[in-house]
Amino acid sequence: MLFDGENILICEDEPFIALDLAASVEEAGGRVVGPAASIAEAERLLASATVQGAILDVHLTDGEVTPVAQRLMEAGIPVIVQTGVGLPDILRERYPDLRAYQKPVPARRLVEELAKLLSG
């Protein structure tokens, strides 16, 4: 098991990718929070659940995931980002160590990379 019951937020607006990520997190021993297809949905989830890590798609149904990513990183929560077009400038400039992966990325790889961040 890569996770020990940690709550992992998934933000992804493509249903098949979201389901694949959720299955991979659960197979690795994590608990899925979400998946959230929008910033608004992610914010609602974060208001009601504590998360220990997150896998975020850059583009959601209502805009770029930047506010969610910033909220998590400012709280010290490990974040992995996947994108089809690159990171928004503000995230790239403000968080140069942010791990971003170009789509398509196997869900298992994202889960493994997040587990490494969580384990320190």
Please tell me the total count of domains within the chain.
1
Residue 40 lies inside a defined structural domain of this protein: yes
Q: What is the pLDDT of residue 67?
A: 97
Please, which pLDDT band fits residue 7 given cuts at 50, 70 and 90?
A: very high
Residue 57 lies inside a defined structural domain of this protein: yes
Domain encompassing residue 89 = 7-119
Residue 1 lies inside a defined structural domain of this protein: no
For the segment 8-18, what is each residue's pLDDT rounded down to a tens digit? 999 999 999 99
Integer Cα distance of 39 and 55 in angstroms = 13
Residue 92 lies inside a defined structural domain of this protein: yes
Q: Which helix or strand (DSSP H or E) is residue 42 part of?
A: helix 39-48
